[in-house]
Chains A and B, each alone.
Chain A
């Protein structure tokens, strides 16, 4: 399948360029949250989903990871 599983755009790697960047950002920022608040990956995803200002593509990647049981 050549389409992004989240939005249906053409995918480059796992996702389309937008969701790919969102996925990379999400992973990179976990380190900062871990240092600042000591959150595990699962706690971090939960927390980020609850914050209103989290970006739309970030939220969509979290939903996808969760739906795939990838926590």
Chain B
């Protein structure tokens, strides 16, 4: 029996190992498995759906501390995971007549753990007797090779994976309950406020950056702008100092060189060669895909996973920037040369020496991300196509020659002041010919001037500028920081970055800290700084690496971690009242920011609030005096998208303005939008759009 991680992988593996490449899929209710024949062996290929087993608390009560747990079928913890039950039952049933078990899940920490837990709890077999297939791409050749050269299970790796789950469970469950229960005790509300081992430090980075931005005072500087004329051509010249720190100095420079004639002193040429960037690992792929395609890291990972399951690329969860000597590069390029979009480039590369540029980072389990050269078996979605193109072109580029460019600079002298004009000329495209769409550089010809030429300055001015605050994080830069700080793993980081936003701790696409984010950050910072500290979680990562390398074991690490968590929780308990009060104050500020819309225009002392109807679940604006029967003022609200009150009032009707965030689209309107005289045209257009959409829907239903 081969235990695989997903249905698609099971099918690929069964097809690759079956002698006739056409395994039989046996349907059993809502699930299935594959039967295939390989020589004298009969193979049964079953699949999981990611993790089939999860950790469950063994002591009773939704409280803390809770330190004991056990692995149980996922549907016992997650009531929605009903599809897991038939899969576990099927594997249990089929396992009775098996001679040998093989783990054929993804070759990484999570895949190894999925395989191990399935063997132990579903197959009910001794995992040490099982074998492991090791592969980095779901291609026939690689899978056959993995099957013929099976290895033992990597138990330190599995133990490390197990501990990672246990530690995340311990911190996540206990800290979230501690925070949530402190609010309940202080105000009687049940509002889940979550934090975790890596999420805490991630929140801390965002909060620190937000502080710097909020405390930023811009400083002035001046830039000298010079326009000259030469051979009837207008030239823009740079002053040698980019920033002049006082207005008086800037004025003096302008006065001195205005109306003067400058002389070209020297023309410098500097030839620079630039090697190709190394092959992608997951982090550099996520960063480049965000930059050029606008995909957030979690989306890139999902698309890359889909391309991998489609046999189009190698395993994406890798840290390596290297393509090993054993990789069949010629075979991959030959495969790509059969694809219309890549044929010409692949054929050129095949003619040259196939020695790729290698990066520094390595990964013992997988090579850098590369195309397999196989035609995807399933039609790619537009987003998958874009990511695939990026990966293929990066793969091509590592075989390219260096880019050669000339930096040109003319040094011009005026009185005792130095001025410049610059140019950039590309002498040889090299690897950028392949990576073209994702490489941007502007060629700029140096003006037609020679040493000794006189250049009259026709206009000299100074412009006041101001220093800028640090930029807010975006998903790619926060992910990069977590990687640099060694927090989380390549598989978990993008999820953590998403969670900071999805839990309401930040606003919008830029990671601007919300009032809820502040409330949590301030409370943790004051009472439990350890939960925000990268040091603690980095230390935990190190312990898990030590388990992987056999330097320590699971029991040792767990005892240490439980003791440290217990002392944090005891300290929390002692201060629970104060923590709860502070969180409640923060939450009240959060709700005021997100739900209060200023004074009621109808009654004197009511406050307008976003309210959700308990009957219909729809949201609307209502007056706080409604419950006392004093005021019945209401306004309808758009039902989709996140809503944020604005400080401004509508120029047409003087009602409060709001901003709606729906997907990538944002728009502003007033709370009186259905009656506002200035928005009637918008309403008509909205009605038309709705009518068109419902007509489309009706046509769709009919067809």
Interface of A is mostly: helix
Of all A-B residue pairs in the complex, the 3 with the closest CB atoms, nearest first, are A55-B216, A29-B217, A55-B214
In the complex with contacts A18-B211, A53-B466, A37-B216 CB distance below 8 A:
no
Interface of B is mostly: mixed
> Scoring B residues 444 to 475 as 1 if CB is less than 8 Å from chain A, else 0, what string do you get?
00000000000000000000101011000000
A36-B219 in contact (CB<8A):
yes
B685 within 8 A of A: no
User: Taking the nearest CB of chain A, how far is it from the CB of B472, in angstroms?
Assistant: 12
Cβ contacts under 8 Å, B466 to chain A: 51, 53
How far is B211's CA from A1's CA once the two chains are assembled, in angstroms?
25
User: Taking the nearest CB of chain A, how far is it from the CB of B516, in angstroms?
Assistant: 15
How far is B309's CA from A21's CA once the two chains are assembled, in angstroms?
53
> Scoring B residues 572 to 608 as 1 if CB is less than 8 Å from chain A, else 0, what string do you get?
0000000000000100010000000000000000000
Assign chain A's interface to a size class.
Answer: 20 to 34
Cβ contacts under 8 Å, A57 to chain B: 214-215
How far is B247's CA from A58's CA once the two chains are assembled, in angstroms?
24
B589-A8 in contact (CB<8A):
yes
A55-B246 in contact (CB<8A):
no
Interface positions of B (Cβ within 8 A of A): 211, 213-221, 245-248, 464, 466, 468-469, 585, 589
Cβ contacts under 8 Å, B211 to chain A: 18
A37-B217 in contact (CB<8A):
no
Q: Which residues in chain A, 19-64, are within 8 Å of chain B measured between CB atoms?
A: 21-22, 25-26, 29, 32-33, 35-38, 48, 51, 53-58
Cβ contacts under 8 Å, B217 to chain A: 25-26, 29, 48, 54-55, 58
A58-B245 in contact (CB<8A):
no
Query: Which of A8, A18, A26, A48 is within 8 Å of B214, CB to CB?
Result: A18
Give the interface centre of B217, B218, B220, B464 by most chain A CB atoms within 10 Å: B217
Cβ contacts under 8 Å, B468 to chain A: 53
A32-B589 in contact (CB<8A):
no
Interface positions of A (Cβ within 8 A of B): 7-9, 18, 21-22, 25-26, 29, 32-33, 35-38, 48, 51, 53-58
How far is B354's CA from A64's CA once the two chains are assembled, in angstroms?
67
**B512 closest partner in A (C-beta):** A56
**A44 closest partner in B (C-beta):** B217
B589-A55 in contact (CB<8A):
no
**B219 closest partner in A (C-beta):** A32
In the complex with contacts A8-B589, A51-B466, A53-B469, A36-B220 CB distance below 8 A:
yes
How far is B207's CA from A18's CA once the two chains are assembled, in angstroms?
12
**A7 closest partner in B (C-beta):** B589
**B468 closest partner in A (C-beta):** A53
User: Taking the nearest CB of chain A, how far is it from the CB of B525, in angstroms?
Assistant: 10
User: Taking the nearest CB of chain B, how far is it from the CB of A44, in angstroms?
Assistant: 10
Given A53-B469, A54-B216, A56-B213, 15 new contacts (CB under 8 A): A8-B589, A25-B215, A29-B219, A35-B246, A36-B219, A37-B220, A38-B248, A48-B218, A51-B466, A53-B468, A54-B217, A54-B218, A55-B216, A58-B215, A58-B216
